[in-house]
Structure 1
Amino acid sequence: MVRRIDVTGADGVRLAAWEFADPPKGGREDEKAPGVLLLHGLMGRASHWAGTARWLSARHRAVALDQRGHGRSEKPADGPYTREAYVADAEAAIGQLDLAPVILIGHSMGALTAWQLAARRPDLVRALVICDMRASALGAQSQREWEEWFKTWPLPFATLADVRKWFGEDDPWLERPRPSRGEFYAEVMAERADGWRPVFSRRQMLMSRETWVHDAHWEELALVQCPALVVRGVDGELGRAEAQEMVRVLPRGEYAEIPDAGHLVHYDQPKPWRAALEPFLQAALLTS
């Protein structure tokens, strides 16, 4: 069962949270199940976490958040789409949903939000999972490349099959076909009068990205006090050397890598992804 819960974020922005509410097993009915907040990456949405949230919901209270500018959440024309706004939104969701002490699981930009919140509010966070997000600055060239990439999108798409094919096979950014990537992007398209278009504004995505690509984030990583698992796809954006340095910098860091997975680790390899997370989460609950 999935239910939507509206949350008020920073500056009064309306956010949509989605609770995967199967009754947790293994405890008394009056026990509070450990809370998990799942944070998608740039251009993502809460539904991208459905597979992960379903197995989590057997023992946890699993909630996925549509972050501002994404999914069913509000998309204010001029933001703000700052790091501070995203972190404040996540903090508001934890408080309003009574999830603390929470396990934060973040992918890409959502992982950055997660570790920034864990650094600033250690009292709220029990454990942290960082999925394929770099701590190093990406720089202005990376932002320019994204601007050019957005221009290559052949919008509008005539059908969802065209969406799946372009993002899974034809996108010039692809080194090899990844059908899971096509499925990922099909979930963030909506049918309009002229065809299928993204549910987000590409301009707003660039605004959001502008606030973090120019800076390194090692100092905040070092402030994370809770157990933290860094997960990378072998073919993803986070290289092995940087991932292992992140683990070294984290006071209680651990490392996992998933073979034959790209940036969308939980989409590409859901079973190995689960196998990497479950023992970490179980140990974190025992030690927190």
Structure 2
Amino acid sequence: MAERVDRLDVTGSGGVRLVAWEFAESPGKRRAAAGRPGVLLLHGLMGRAAHWAEVASRLAGRYRMVGLDQRGHGDSAKPAEGPFGPETFVADAEAAVEQLGLGPVTLIGHAMGALTAWQLAAIRPDLVRAVVICDMRAAALGAGSQRQWRQWLASWPLPFRGLAEVRRWFAEEDPALDRPRPARGEFFARVMAERPDGWRPVFSRRQILLAREGWAHDAHWEELAQVRCPALVLRGLDGELGRAEAQEMVRVLPRGSYADIPDAGHLAHLERPEEWRERVEKFLAEAEAV
């Protein structure tokens, strides 16, 4: 397993303090990784860089693997009033690539992070060599989706008494679930912190809704069509991105390709890390050979 060997400070858009984490096979191999092709891992809404640890370990032997805690998430700053628009997340990722010397970089994004990845690739083709889009829709989700999210966030039984309770509620008891999902419980356990009254999320739910507002109402096909580098659309068969929309995204992408992972949902990189690595590694090898 790779371990998180170093904290890297980044100054994001508007001077916001961001934190990135570099993954390597061992502490002594971080220096060697500096000469390898750079990969920036962009988590989804409510996530953090630590969610990439297992799959990063499987790629660290060939790539310089860096995960960014995006604004409002993880250990990065959470400015009270934002901004949290898509263009700000893109500017933050751009700053991370440039300040950490990762370019030309491969961007691997999950959900919201995937949108950030393809938007950055569209406006800075000089900075991005390839993109992996994990379970993110290009179509608009609509106002109803935002209302559902507001109700769901308000339904959380906060504070939790411990991490076991966090895991159980998000993996088994959340009414939004279609079936038990242990990886989902682990996902949320990693974004909780102990407070005087119990365990609460490290992020602000209000800020999460603000961040989601920026992309829930708009479609993003135009930016997708501007991505000139190789791009992989990757989905769990039981995820949020349907097959028909995924195939249309591949068609719109000038150099798009498609892969899926059976028996996986929205969190495919946590549910099926070995299968996820196989698909991504195959794509990266093909992209490098072009």
TM over 0.5: yes
Q: Which runs of 5+ in 1 are unaligned?
A: 24-28
Q: Give me the whole-angstrom Cα distance separating, in 1, the residues matched to 2:34 and 2:273.
A: 29
Q: Give me the whole-angstrom Cα distance separating, in 2, the residues matched to 1:30 and 1:105.
A: 18
Q: Alpha-carbon deviations, 1:40-64, whole Å to 9, x = none?
A: 0000000000011111110100000
Shift of 1:285: 1.6
Partner of 1:74: 77
Partner of 2:201: 198
Change (3 A) 1:187 1:31: closer
Retained in 2: the 8 A contact 1:3–1:21? no
Q: Does 1:171 align with 2:177?
A: no
Partner of 2:187: 184
Retained in 1: the 8 A contact 2:118–2:131? yes
Structure 1 counterpart of 2:278, from 263, 275, 279: 275
Q: Give me the whole-angstrom Cα distance separating, in 1, the residues matched to 2:33 and 2:19.
A: 27
Partner of 1:153: 156
Give the alignment's TM-score, normalised by structure 2.
Answer: 0.96
Of 47-56 and 101-110, more deviation after overlay is shown by: 47-56
Aligned partner letter, 1:178: R
Shift of 1:30: 9.8
Aligned partner letter, 1:251: P
1:125-144 to structure 2, matched below 5 A, reads 125-144=128-147
Change (3 A) 1:258 1:84: same
1:1-288 to structure 2, matched below 5 A, reads 1=3, 2-22=5-25, 32-287=35-290
Give the alignment's TM-score, normalised by structure 1.
Answer: 0.96
Aligned partner letter, 1:67: Q
Q: Matched residue of 1:200: which SS?
A: coil
Shift of 1:106: 0.1
Q: Matched residue of 1:56: which SS?
A: coil
RMSD across aligned positions (CA): 1.3
Shift of 1:268: 1.1
Q: Which runs of 5+ in 2 are unaligned?
A: 27-31
Retained in 1: the 8 A contact 2:132–2:234? yes
Aligned partner letter, 2:118: W
Shift of 1:21: 3.0
Q: Give me the whole-angstrom Cα distance separating, in 2, the residues matched to 1:11 and 1:184.
A: 29
Q: Matched residue of 1:211: which SS?
A: helix
Q: Give me the whole-angstrom Cα distance separating, in 1, the residues matched to 2:148 and 2:208.
A: 13
